[in-house]
A and B are shown apart, each in its own frame.
Chain A
Amino acid sequence: MGSHHVAVLAGGLSLEREVSLRSGRRVAEALSSRGYDVAELDLDSGLVPRLRQGDLDAVVLALHGRAGEDGTVQALLELLDVPYTGPGATASALAWDKAIFKGMCARADVPTPAWVTIASDAIRDLGGAAALEAFGQRLAGPLVVKPSQGGACMGVRFVDSPGGLHEALVAAFSYHDVVVVEQFVSGTEIAITILDGEPLPAVEIHPKVGRYDFSARYTYGATDFYAPARLDDATLARAEEAALAAWELTGCRDIARADLIVGNDGTPSILELDTCPGMTETSLVPMAASAAGIPFGELCERLVGFTQRRGGAASPGLDA
């Protein structure tokens, strides 16, 4: 494989830049150690010239957040005819926006917690604040307020009492102009990585203190993980079914990670689908791969392999 020349794309201007850089560095090191000729590229205005002069066999995406995960870079790479890892532009865009993604799931009867979407424009320009009280009628009990776009659970707030909703909305709007207010489901958080259409062992997530927030995600040892998850086979099968349904619905390929909550009643619901999942030392996908007996380097190599298998670049507008 020594002749393969790949570029790992990481960084960019998204709020998740740091996490992306950590993912990218790790992927680049893994591929280098397997004999690949690896260039590490940041996202900036010099990207296209660099990609054009690169004579690259593939671009490996380790981008998180806006521009990297939302289909922007994917569409650009398709335009440039450069093969890249992970789901295509359309699948990325569909999964990226939680309001759209949840809407697709609901239409297809893939379980996802009840939610309401609200845009800051509706509040600011259309008198939407008066409609906020309707949230209480639609959703009962504790709520989770999330920016509709964005990852690493940045801007996510948990609301236990009606009084906290306004503050949580203001906070979430700082990250994105559209916010999803979701029914909080108490239960066990799990992540199911799908590699080339096949689910890897589910990873079960237990923060030692509080929620699985930014600090719990990126501090070594702040969260206990179990892979495979300690759930019964029937529950795991239902969770995998939901994850695979989401993968199909959005038209994913190569790799994606579905985050689910298994309610206390044993029902799994899908929270989100990450089309460019984290690859850091504390990330869930490497854990799932490891539980499946796939070392990290091999995982990265497989991702490159998928692009080679596809041959030429995808037709514009088609992801698969």
Chain B
Amino acid sequence: MSEIRLDPYISRYATRTQGMTASEIRALFAVANRPEVVSLAGGMPYVGALDHDAVAEVTRRVIAEDGNVALQYGGGQGHDGLREQLVEVMAAEGISGHADDLVVTTGGQQGLDLLGKLFLDPGDVVLAEGPSYVGAIGAFSAYEAEIRHVDMDEDGLIPARLGEHLERLRSEGRRAKFLYTVPNHQNPAGCSLSVARREEIAALCESEDLLIIEDNPYGLLDFKAELRTSFRELAPERTIYIGTLSKVFSSGIRVGWVAAAGPIRDKLVLLKEGADLCQSNLTQLVAERWLRTQAWQEQIATFRELYRERCDAMLAELSAEMPAEATWTVPTGGFFVWLALPDGVDARELLAKALNARVAYVPGGAFYADGGGQHHARLSFCYPPPDRIREGVRRLGEVLRTELELRSAIYGG
């Protein structure tokens, strides 16, 4: 028999892995990382703004002074001292908590995975903003959840739309397991949920007995240092809060956390132990010492100013370079601008042309579980310096202009 079996294990995989296939879009991103390309794609924090010598010294002291702990296993809930420091990070945003409420995770992303494992059976409904964070979609989809997107506008998730979803679910005889939201400087939409809407949504979740997963990586990165009331404050008993040091210190250190009510926390500790026994003690102690001994709030102010400058560069260049029909969100913090492409232009199709013109973005489809986002693109301003951002937007503008000319000719527009 001449059959060639490239994957002899294929009949053994779990059914849920069936969608895990090679993707053309993913392959295209290999080019985006080349220096010739201006990448407005990745959401990487600009860790170059950290004092690397200071981080090195903190790390050296952790090993020199606390090596036997740093190089050893730790507890499933995470290092006590670090959790105390993380409570301080939450407090800086006006969010209350106790070290005992927290479970340290490998970035906020592991929090999403563990929560998916804890709450989701196949077919369960999750409500999330449309668009929503791609990593959350991936995490919840891995547990075969059905993600339903709730429309947003410049003030974030629209409470009336949430109400409609809940109504529809009721008419189907179903319930959502939770609402997943990134209320501050949302990834990818770049907008924040207004305080009035937070109160409205908290009340709605209260009346509907709906849990809230509040994912807050960007709250401290408001350009004017404004803080917005957290769901954890508005609805403490039904909010599961996810925090991370990725955007305010280092993404490479992989320290995130979940703050939740005792019963949920205990389950998460068991799940965390099942997943990886414990968080790395070494990176936990580095994070703990960083927060304890360094002026981390000043560092955040530095990040804030740096990202504001980059965002301004992007917005100014978008105004100058985008065709009249394109629209975009105006962020007040965070990393992202959400660009609506004009005239039916498909962001996925356009990506090849953009890469050939040496600029990259993320097509909006990545941020929807239901095929939405086709005509949107996420532009990140967090990583390239302002002059590169301007150059990237110029290239994208040129790509869009030629695309519109072509479409107009083809469709007789």
Binding site for B on A (CB under 8 A): 13-19, 21, 44, 120, 123-124, 127-129, 132, 152, 154-155, 166, 169-171, 173-175, 201, 203-204, 213-215, 217-230, 281-282, 287, 290-291
Contact = CB atoms under 8 A, between A and B. Distances in A.
A102 B7 CA distance: 34
Nearest to A218: B22
B27 interface: yes
Given A15-B355, A132-B410, A291-B4, 18 more contacts: A15-B27, A15-B352, A18-B26, A44-B34, A123-B410, A127-B409, A129-B412, A152-B27, A166-B411, A170-B346, A175-B356, A204-B2, A214-B22, A218-B22, A220-B7, A225-B3, A225-B6, A230-B2
Interface residues of B, number: 38
A11 B143 CA distance: 35
B248 to A, nearest CB: 32
Contacts of B21: 215, 219, 222
Nearest to B405: A124
A174 B351 contact: yes
B285 to A, nearest CB: 36
A282 B5 CA distance: 10
Contacts of B402: 124
B10 A221 contact: yes
Contact of A170 (B351, B356, B410): B410
A13 B31 CA distance: 6
A128 B409 contact: yes
Contacts, number: 114
A123 B4 contact: no
Contacts of A154: 24, 28, 352
Contact of B2 (A17, A220, A226): A226
Interface string B1-22: 0111111011000000000011
A282 B6 contact: yes
23 contacts: A13-B31, A15-B356, A17-B27, A17-B34, A21-B30, A124-B405, A124-B409, A129-B410, A129-B412, A132-B410, A152-B24, A152-B27, A155-B352, A170-B403, A174-B351, A174-B353, A215-B21, A215-B22, A219-B22, A220-B7, A222-B21, A225-B6, A226-B4
Nearest to B408: A124
Interface in B21-58: 21-24, 26-28, 30-31, 34, 36-37
Contacts of B349: 170-171, 174
Given A15-B31, A220-B7, A215 B24 contact: yes
Most buried by A among B7, B405, B412: B7
A227 B4 contact: yes
B68 to A, nearest CB: 40
Contact of A18 (B30, B36, B37): B30
Contact of A129 (B2, B356, B409): B409
Contacts of B37: 13
Nearest to B1: A226
A287 B4 contact: yes
Contact of A166 (B346, B350, B405, B410): B410
A21 B33 CA distance: 13
Contacts of A287: 4
